[in-house]
Amino acid sequence: MYFRNQKFMVAGMSKSGESSARFLLKHGAEVYIYDDVVSEGISALMTELENLGAHIVDAEGFIDATLVCDILVLSPGIPIDNPLPIAFKKQGKAIMGEAELGAMFLRSNVIAVTGTNGKTTTVSMFNSILQNAGFNSVACGNIGTPIISEAENLGIDDYAVVEISSFQLETLSSLRPHIAIITNITEDHLNRHYNMENYIFLKGKLLRNLRESEYAVLNYDDEDVRNFAQKTKANVVYFSLRQQIEGAYYQNGAIYFKGEKYLDVKDMTVKGEHNVYNALACVAAAHVLGLDKTKVAEALCSFKGIKHRIEEVARMNGVSYIDDSKGTNVDATLKAVDTMQNPTVILLGGQDKGYDYGFLFAELKNSNVIHAILYGENRFKLLNAAVREGFVSFSLCSEFDTAVRLSGLIAKSGQNVLLSPASSSFDSFSNYEERGDAFKRLVEGMNENFEE
């Protein structure tokens, strides 16, 4: 692509939008920047980019800008049916995401991971495996580091381990990973994708460009994921927790690949069935690359987990406070709940993603959760589901701060407070990381007040 005679509009000034704009300006493109939510931080960033040569587009002028610009670079947070991409579509103009822009310029080997849950952990795990094996490897994509910001830093012998979300897959067409991993598919983002058929279709797009020389690593225990094997030209490698298969599997407390033992699960630092699944996916991909088994096992056993995923952030007055802000859907929250060994007060709520929460509360009745604090934009929908399922031990409040402080009053010594909202964070926060950081600050503040 020749940049100097192309006009780009970059929509959405998140990390991906900022990185796209900086990349394009660096390479001499004419860049227009737009965001429909202009906070103080976004405003400062847009001014900085304007000083580098970008043109700021405001809400009144974005339609006019679509007439001038040739290509729209869309941040993942903006849906494909937003009026802005629709305006570009009507004019027959190109639309791409930051991930697509990055994919066009990646020279490195690519390991790509998608799925509903486990993406970030699997990417982080596999990146640590590659680094332990002596490779130059970077975790990027939806994990927080935009692909485009690393594209020119990685050579043909290096690795990009890329997390790909369903939002990114809406505008991704060029990525051809050597290994594509799909962890699982459960109900998520139905407020954006409308139904499960669309959501499953988007997840399957990761396999679309794979050839016979590439590999699809698929969760055999998930029927929707297993069925992708019929729709790809790639070599299919399965992983399973439930049965011995021709691939990576769990048996007698250990992880194997086609009869070769890699490690004992008890030696892993991170616990829980979901992390065994993540490790199985990594072992399957590592075997494809021919990595040393000892190096793989070392990396998996020493892996300490990721921030905001079942992370203990404080222990005070005998209560353990656990940040699982990354639990943004029902399945992820239930996986976090399954790891709770002690009575638990759970914080649930945020922005609704189109779920029926009945299944959540039906499962919580048979768990170690003794009380639920319902907060946020979707608190009344959660309340209705709880009542319908006969889950009667709950409190209701509107604000996140109040919910966290209330949890400290309800939980007793020997119990847990678990933030695992089963909802997105966008009613009050920019992302789940910001929500998790706020939880930690509030808990630390409660500790300071107690000490006084």
Q: What is the pLDDT of residues 108-155, one digit of tens each?
A: 999 999 999 999 999 999 999 999 999 999 999 999 899 999 999 999
Residue 316 predicted with pLDDT over 90:
yes
Q: Are 263 and 226 in contact (CB under 8 A)?
A: no
Tell me the pLDDT band of 303, cut-offs 50, 70 and 90.
very high
Residue 103 predicted with pLDDT over 80:
yes
Average pLDDT for 375-386 = 97
Q: Are 220 and 238 in contact (CB under 8 A)?
A: yes
Residue 39 predicted with pLDDT over 60:
yes
Task: Say whether 234 sits in a helix, a strand or coil.
Answer: coil
Phi, psi at 110, each rounded to 5°: -120, 130
Q: Which residues of 329-355 are buried (b: 16+ CB within 10 A; e: fewer)?
A: bbbbbbbbbebbeeebbbbbbbbbbeb
Pairwise CA distance, residues 439 & 152, whole Å: 36
Question: 9 vs 187, which has greater pLDDT?
Answer: 9
Task: Say whether 320 sits in a helix, a strand or coil.
Answer: strand
- Length of the chain as a residue count: 452
Average pLDDT for 251-272 = 97
Residue 65 predicted with pLDDT over 70:
yes
CA dist 96 → 101, 142, 171, 437 (Å):
7, 16, 5, 31
Q: How far apart are the first and last CA of the chain?
A: 62
Tell me which residue has tokens 């019929």.
Answer: 230
Phi, psi at 414, each rounded to 5°: 90, 0
Residue 452 predicted with pLDDT over 60:
no
Which pLDDT belongs to residue 449?
55
Phi, psi at 405, each rounded to 5°: -65, -40
Average pLDDT for 394-422 = 97
Q: Cα angle vertex 285, ends 305, 20, to 5°?
A: 70
Q: Are 32 and 8 in contact (CB under 8 A)?
A: yes
Residue 84 predicted with pLDDT over 50:
yes
CA dist 356 → 68, 178, 360, 418, 422 (Å):
43, 37, 8, 21, 11
Average pLDDT for 367-388 = 97
Cα atoms found within 13 Å of the Cα of residue 65, Cβ hemisphere only: 25
Residue 293 predicted with pLDDT over 90:
yes
Q: Are 79 and 166 in contact (CB under 8 A)?
A: no
Percent of the chain residues topping a pLDDT of 70: 99
Which pLDDT belongs to residue 37?
79
Which pLDDT belongs to residue 18?
96
Pairwise CA distance, residues 248 & 217, whole Å: 10
Cα atoms found within 13 Å of the Cα of residue 21, Cβ hemisphere only: 29
Tell me which residue has tokens 């699809």.
Answer: 216
Secondary-structure breakdown of the chain: helix, strand, coil percentages, each rounded to the nearest 5: 40, 20, 40
Contacts of 124 (CB under 8 A, 6+ apart): 139, 143, 303, 306
The whole-model pTM stands at 0.89
Residue 181 predicted with pLDDT over 90:
yes
Task: Say whether 240 sits in a helix, a strand or coil.
Answer: strand
> What are the structure tokens assigned to 366, written together?
């048979």
Task: Say whether 28 sits in a helix, a strand or coil.
Answer: coil
Bridge partners, residue 254, by sequence: 251, 264
Which pLDDT belongs to residue 448?
62
Which pLDDT belongs to residue 450?
46
Residue 4 predicted with pLDDT over 90:
no
Average pLDDT for 234-259 = 97
Helices (H) and strands (E) counted in the chain, each on its own, are 18, 20
Which pLDDT belongs to residue 77?
85
> What are the structure tokens assigned to 65, written together?
């800008």
Mean pLDDT of the chain: 94
Residue 86 predicted with pLDDT over 90:
yes
CA nearest to 100, candidates 5, 206, 214, 211:
206
Pairwise CA distance, residues 33 & 432, whole Å: 25
37, with CB counted inside 10 A (0-12, 13-18, 19+), is exposed
Average pLDDT for 2-23 = 93
